[in-house]
Chain A
Amino acid sequence: MIMITLVRIELYKIFSKPRTYIGFVAIAFLVPLIQVALYIDGETYIEFSLQNLKEAFEFQGNLLNGFLATYIILATLYVHIPFLIALVTGDLIAGEAASGTLKILLTRKADRTMIVVSKFIAGMIYTATLIFFMAIISLVLGLAIMGTGDLIVIKNTIYVFAENDVLWRLIAAFCFGLIAMWCVGALAFMFSAFSDNAIGPIILTMTVIISFIIISAIDLSIFRAVKPFMFTNYMGSWKLFFEDPVDYNKVILSAGVLIFHILGFLGISIYHFNRKDILT
């Protein structure tokens, strides 16, 4: 019962802070911007993407549709959304330490583990809300502007998904994306437990993610050896839902690695916070 109260309090605090809405404002600005740009100039984009294939295949129907727009948005923003997540989850403990309110919380009867876990849950709810908002705005606006149609995805091979086979894949991709973003949120949260200033955890989280993504992208044998151990390597596995057939073993493995990291980051946060001297 006390845990539910604590989570509610944390959510109340999160949604009372102006910085919480930066992510929503950014998505509400960027997603329509991308969609309008695609609507205006999307044909050129598709022409360019399919120029080699058009010699061998004939494409018919509404290729520039809301599903494609949502897919492009997912592919573009999953690298940038972590910043918006870290902005809030990185502030959950460190922000309170910096403002001095942490000591007021800790002089109440709730124990430290409960406080950390309630903050963590609230942070994950915020993340889910942001991703849900992004999914809704992408799909609804995309379909409203560009309508439906088949989805063409070009990887090593070309996949054409029928119109009635796309929506569940996009929903599954967003759900997987949510796990990936929870992992980012958990990382920022862990840094937050170690820090007494609100900016450090955000910068540190972005530094880790960008560094890992760069290391993953460079195809050298030394980096290939460490790649499986970097959680960022599994963040892009939402794309597995746009293969046919979907390799569920890979999906489960990737989700498992990310969930393992989430629990690990939470465990470290609890362990450290329970031993932390509150000096601010």
Chain B
Amino acid sequence: MKPSIVNFTSELERETIIEVCDLHKSYKGFQAVKGISFKVFRGDVFGFLGPNGAGKSTTIRMMLDLIRPTSGTIKIFGKSVTENREGTLNKIGAIVEKPDLYGYLSVYDNLELLSKMSGKAAAKEKIMEILELVGLKDRAKSKIKTFSHGMKQRAGIAQALIHDPELIILDEPTTGLDPQGMVEIRDLILKLSRERHKTILLSSHILNEVEIVANRMVIINKGKVAVEGEVEKLLNTDDMKVTLEVNNINDALQLINNSEFATNYRDHAGNRIMLQMKKEQMASLNRKLIENNIDVIAMIPMRSLEEYFLNLT
């Protein structure tokens, strides 16, 4: 269940929260970001996807005024971050790459200190509420340096939420987590979107992670935007590449070529056959093979965007 606001309102009617326009960043001759443009609307869980080194973190750092763009503009809540730093950053909570907090302080003390820095000293109840939300209430008084990586990630999310921001920017929040930890963070992101109505920009190099939680996304590669749009449309299942693994390749090929699936055939290698088909065709092909005593060992679907992204990474 993804944030559903996109189904009810057109992009034109929605409030733009982030507007990145023709953004460039160069470091000593190396161009890390080359003209990136995209928009994030209120209520979006926006996937910011790209392989490592694509320019995601650099873009996020520019959004947060940690680094200055070489050229281009970033408007957040309709205003330039550099010109309206205080007003803008007060509405943003962020994790940038690693969730670094003060290791020699407890997570409670970290949150108290950072809330004061945001100009809104959080009450004890508020801090405990946030710690409960991220599942760290029982460890409130434990020093950050004693935390596991997953706990540090959750503490990082807690610091991003402590001043009740409207926009949350999470840069690779599941990096280094075990599968259970990844699920917990994803659930938390969905909870923040659905229950607290936060706008979230989620940076990741894992397509599957973005697909599960985001309603819109942009893919960047080598500092440029490759694809942008609604996740459901981009990851449509009408045109899938399916790899079929069977026990008898010759019989399977003969059967496919003499059936309605002949036009779907693309290639074969070893005991694998590659086909291009719609999602709903997969079941009938499977049934047909089994009815003809051909064992189906595996049927691996891959959507076109998935294939494209796999090539990038």
Contacts and interface: CB of A to CB of B under 8 A. Distances in A.
B113 interface: yes
A107 B92 contact: yes
A110 B89 CA distance: 9
Contact of A110 (B66, B92, B104, B117): B117
Interface residues of A, number: 25
Interface-central residue, A9, A104, A279, by most chain B CB under 10 Å: A104
A5 B116 contact: yes
A278 interface: yes
Contacts of A278: 61, 66-67
B66 A106 contact: yes
Interface in B91-113: 92, 94, 96-98, 100-105, 109, 113
B100 to A, nearest CB: 3
Given A13-B102, A277-B66, A278-B66, A6 B96 contact: no
A44 to B, nearest CB: 46
A16 B112 CA distance: 14
Interface in A261-280: 275, 277-279
Contact of B96 (A2, A107, A275, A277): A107
* Interface bin, chain B: 20 to 34
Interface string A83-106: 000000000000000011101111
A107 B100 contact: no
B77 to A, nearest CB: 13
Contacts of A104: 100-101, 114, 159
B64 interface: yes
A109 B86 contact: yes
B68 interface: yes
Contacts of A100: 97-98, 100
A16 B117 CA distance: 17
A108 interface: yes
B85 interface: yes
B118 interface: yes
A159 interface: no
A105 B90 CA distance: 12
Contacts of B119: 2, 109-110
A109 B94 contact: no
A279 B67 contact: yes
Contacts of A12: 113
Contacts of B90: 109
B101 A103 contact: no
B68 A101 contact: no
Contact of B118 (A13, A17, A101, A109): A109
Contact of B64 (A18, A106, A110, A111): A106
Contacts of A5: 116-117
B229 to A, nearest CB: 28
5 contacts: A17-B104, A101-B100, A105-B117, A108-B114, A277-B66
